[in-house]
Amino acid sequence: MKHTSSHKESTKKSKIAITCRNITKTFHSSNIKTNALQGINLDVYEGEFMMLVGPSGCGKTTFLSIIAGILQFDEGDLKVENHNYRNMTEEELIDYRAQHVGFIFQSFNLIPTLTVEENVAVPLMINQIPLEKSLKKAQELLDEVGLAGRYSSTIRELSGGEQQRVAIARALVHTPSIIICDEPTSALDHTTGSKILEIMRTINKKFKTTFVVVTHDARIFHYADRIAHMNDGRIERIEDVTKTV
């Protein structure tokens, strides 16, 4: 999959999906104050594959949780698809996440008592889509990630790579405009991890879905459009990646 134009050229006409301005977050524990985020500024474009990288404890996951609307920030402004998080109630944030945001977790977070197709259908059922329609859509997404014929399998019957494919299908099933990924390859070997990134990139291009991915895995950096390098709660630099994948 070779890209002939740079991200900078391809995003000249792109809208901004996520705008972060001077985002701060401090955690308090006993008498200890930890400044997790110290003035984050970042724009993420619609359809972009953005990676957040940096050493452990630099604030990547905290920042990802704030973008996802799971964690509140202290100061600054955050707009996601023109929704100003500061002006939204907790209920509005929950509804927004359920309809517009998909999640791919480090530990997959699949439900072992459900079949593969039932796991994928969960976001639709949360949105009160009828079961039959939810399962049909789940099967379509499982086909998309290469798991046709595994609809009725249990989670225990799947390999780690297959479980991550289920997690990707689940993240996509309600057609979110943004997908949040926390260390999507950390539990996988390099070959399997590369296959997973190929699937994610294909989905990113096919559906124009915006991806924000936290990772420590330098072997997958080349899959990004841009990489935001974080350290000590700040973004130190943003790197445009020349597409050769």
Residue in the structure block whose two tokens are 């990707």: 168
pLDDT at position 2 is 38
Q: Which CATH class is domain 46-60+91-240?
A: alpha beta
Domain boundaries, the chain: 46-60+91-240
Question: What gap in Å lies between CA 88 and CA 54, rounded to an integer?
Answer: 30
Task: For residue 36, give the 3-state DSSP assignment.
Answer: strand
* 78, two tokens: 């955050």
Phi, psi of 110 (to 5 degrees): -85, 155
Instruction: Output the CA torsion sign for 8, 14, 15, 17.
Output: negative
How do beta strands 16-29 and 234-240 pair? unpaired
The continuous run of DSSP H or E covering 41 comes out as: strand 32-45
Beta bridge partners of 32: 29
Mean pLDDT split into 10-residue runs, the chain, 245 residues: 41 79 92 92 96 93 93 94 91 89 84 95 90 94 91 94 91 90 86 88 91 92 96 95 58
pLDDT at position 242 is 65
pLDDT at position 244 is 43
Question: What gap in Å lies between CA 32 and CA 236, rounded to an integer?
Answer: 25
